Structure 1
Amino acid sequence: MDKLHDKESQPSAPARGGGAGKNGDGAERHEAIYRAISDAIIEHQLLPGARLREDALAEVFSVSRTGIRKILQRLALEQLVTLTPRRGASVTRPTASEARDVFAARQLVECGLMPDVARRITPEDVRDLRQMARAERDALGRSEKSRAIKLSAAFHERLGELSGNAALAGFIRQLCSRSSLILAVYGNTGHLGCESHDHDDLVGYLERGEGTNAKAFMQRHLREVEASLAVVEEQAGAPDLHQIFGLGGH
């Protein structure tokens, strides 16, 4: 995970404390913080249920609480974070039941769209999908689990877009966001529950216009991903934000 010591964050990062917060705010800075928190959740450094206090995050990242609140709201929209009145933000804790529901919904929606994708797909779409699949394999090969999960989600989201059904494509994006957290928390460290060539094989069916075969392959693919999950509930204590985000001592 990026530790925010790169050139993007260092030049404008003010010292902590006092009125330093708002001086570190800005679109690029917020994006870097968003990525850092998202990666920490997906890489299981921030455990499900862990409280994400606005004041503590603002102090760690030297930005305003308003900025942190916006970032947490964005993470909540992606269902990586849960916002609760009077309690604040915490890392979303997916349950076994939720995991089953999410993958059941993906079976219904994604598999059903494969014939449409097979009819509409273009050579350019095929090239783009193969490039996405290759990037995912490379990330897995480098043990970059967070990046691999995000790339896998992006691949499935792109398939939804290629179906031509904007409403269902939006639903798939939501499901993939929820699946990303489920995979991060309960998935295997070395793979995402499927063979590294699965996405390439699926693209092959779509490229040949074999919608029925693509649908069957997607059904098997999603079943294998779900079967790979090991749902074990963990209790999260108060996270050491300074240590997680590599921003020095207290």
Structure 2
Amino acid sequence: MSRKRSSIDLGALQTEEGMSGSGRDEAIYRNLYAAIVENHLEPGTKLPEDTLAEAFGVSRTSIRKVLQRLAYERLVDIRMNRGATVAQPTVKEARDIFAARRIVECGVIPQAVAKATPANLDALRDIVRREHEAEGRGDRREAIYLSGEFHVALARVADNEAVADFLAGLVSRSSLVIATYGAPMAGSCRHSEHHDVLDLIASGDVEGARAWMERHLKDVERSVVLLEEEPSALDLRKVLDEVARRHRGER
């Protein structure tokens, strides 16, 4: 699914008298999707059907269908007798999302390099420019959104919609990971790094671009505190010897 940005204006939907039922459901979906992916609704936020139905001026049945669609995309959790909430990825789910992104994004690099044109590289540079502006004014939501938009747009250069749409879903779920675990500005890529991969693609350096993507996504994952260092094997004798030396020095 394309990550087209939409404004969050619940009231506007109530004025669209001529909109069909399916059209209105799609509009509600787009608004809730944007609210979640852009982190206006934080992970764990309750999404009561009656409140949403009143806000959008529709039946609870319409809201239920939209929530079920978002649950299928794993952006919403629905639990018996507890209703719907914005999804909160576990650490394992978060790691799985980034591992899947590495497989997809590294795998699509050869096709992106082969099909890159000056026009679509310029379009990608424009996203990087807007990302840089968002970073400059401290707009975390916008910077993270544009960072994800860059990655999806880069995949679309390969001209494989199935891959790009699958990645768009992973990037959307990444926004929940960043909102759940990230520190301020964590998860937004440094714009200068995005310039680096565009230079590699423009020069036709497939292996360089693929290595960049692998490293870059691991760095993003680390920025949201998901990678834990493997505990080193404990050298019990060394620890006890160190303690003994310290105590002898104190006497």
Following the alignment from structure 2 to structure 1, what is the Cα–Cα distance between the partners of residues 167 and 67? 22
Percent identity of paired positions between Structure 1 and Structure 2: 40
Larger radius of gyration: 2
- Tell me the residue number matched to 1:39: 35
Assess, with a 3 A threshold, how the Cα gap between structure 1 residues 108 and 122 changes in structure 2: closer, same or farther: same
Following the alignment from structure 2 to structure 1, what is the Cα–Cα distance between the partners of residues 109 and 52? 42
- Tell me the residue number matched to 1:197: 192
CA shift at 1:107, angstroms?
Answer: 1.3
Larger relative helix fraction: 2
Assess, with a 3 A threshold, how the Cα gap between structure 1 residues 86 and 173 changes in structure 2: closer, same or farther: same
In structure 1, stretches of 5+ residues that fail to align are: 14-22, 232-250
- Tell me the residue number matched to 1:112: 107
Alignment partner for residue 155 of structure 2, among 155, 160, 164? 160
Following the alignment from structure 1 to structure 2, what is the Cα–Cα distance between the partners of residues 32 and 142? 30
> Is 1:171 aligned to 2:166, yes or no?
yes
Give the secondary-structure state (helix, strand or coil) at the position aligned to 1:111. Answer: helix
Q: Residue type of the partner of 2:118? A: P
Query: Pairwise mapping of residues 54-73 of structure 1 onto structure 2 (< 5 A)?
Result: 54-73=49-68
Q: Residue type of the partner of 1:35? A: N
- Tell me the residue number matched to 2:15: 12
Q: TM-score, normalised by structure 1?
A: 0.73
Assess, with a 3 A threshold, how the Cα gap between structure 1 residues 10 and 77 changes in structure 2: closer, same or farther: closer
Counterpart contact for 2:134–2:142, Cα < 8 Å: yes
Q: Residue type of the partner of 1:176? A: V
In structure 2, stretches of 5+ residues that fail to align are: 1-6, 227-251
Q: CA RMSD in A?
A: 3.4
- Tell me the residue number matched to 2:238: none
Following the alignment from structure 2 to structure 1, what is the Cα–Cα distance between the partners of residues 215 and 202? 19
CA shift at 1:168, angstroms?
Answer: 2.6
Following the alignment from structure 2 to structure 1, what is the Cα–Cα distance between the partners of residues 142 and 99? 24
